[in-house]
């Protein structure tokens, strides 16, 4: 089984105004983005070309907003614990992987 293009565990996934999971997973694999609970159940998924994601000016460095199937999710990469710099780097890696997958390479 090939490795996913991007996978992050321990991600806080929220759909305004409530949190869906505090230890979820974000995965980009085979041209699809999947948001999963800590138990592996799918919250939402869509082809990466249909996903819009970015970091609003008011968001923390480790936060990303993704619009999947018309629903806005706030993704907080806080799985590393106390290391905010690593969390921010993980959020940047997610956005870069999403962009690469949407471009087809």
Degrees, nearest 5: CA angle 35-41-47: 35
Q: What is the pLDDT of residue 86?
A: 86
Peptide bond into 17 cis (omega under 30): yes
Which of 76, 100, 102, 103 has its CA nearest to residue 90? 76
Mean confidence (pLDDT) of the chain: 91
Sign of the alpha-carbon dihedral angle for 42, 45, 48, 52? negative
For residue range 44-99, what is the model confidence (pLDDT) as tens digits? 999 999 999 999 998 889 999 999 999 999 999 975 556 778 888 999 999 999 99
Fold adopted by 6-103: PH-domain like (2.30.29)
Residue 82: the pLDDT is: 66
Given a cut of 60, whether residue 1 has pLDDT beyond it is: no
pLDDT range class, residue 102, cuts 50, 70, 90 = confident
Residue 103 has pLDDT above 90, yes or no: no
Token couple for 101:
């997958």
Please state the domain extents for the chain.
6-103
């Amino acid at each position: 089984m090939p490795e996913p293009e991007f996978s992050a565990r321990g991600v806080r996934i929220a759909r305004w105004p409530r949190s869906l999971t505090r230890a979820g997973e974000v995965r980009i694999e085979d041209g699809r983005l999947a948001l999963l609970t800590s138990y592996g159940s799918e919250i939402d998924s869509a082809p990466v070309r249909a996903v819009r994601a970015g970091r609003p000016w008011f968001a923390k460095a480790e936060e990303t907003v993704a619009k999947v199937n018309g629903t806005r999710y706030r993704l907080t990469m806080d799985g590393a614990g106390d290391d905010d710099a690593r969390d921010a780097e993980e959020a940047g890696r997610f956005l870069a992987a999403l962009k690469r997958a949407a471009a087809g390479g």
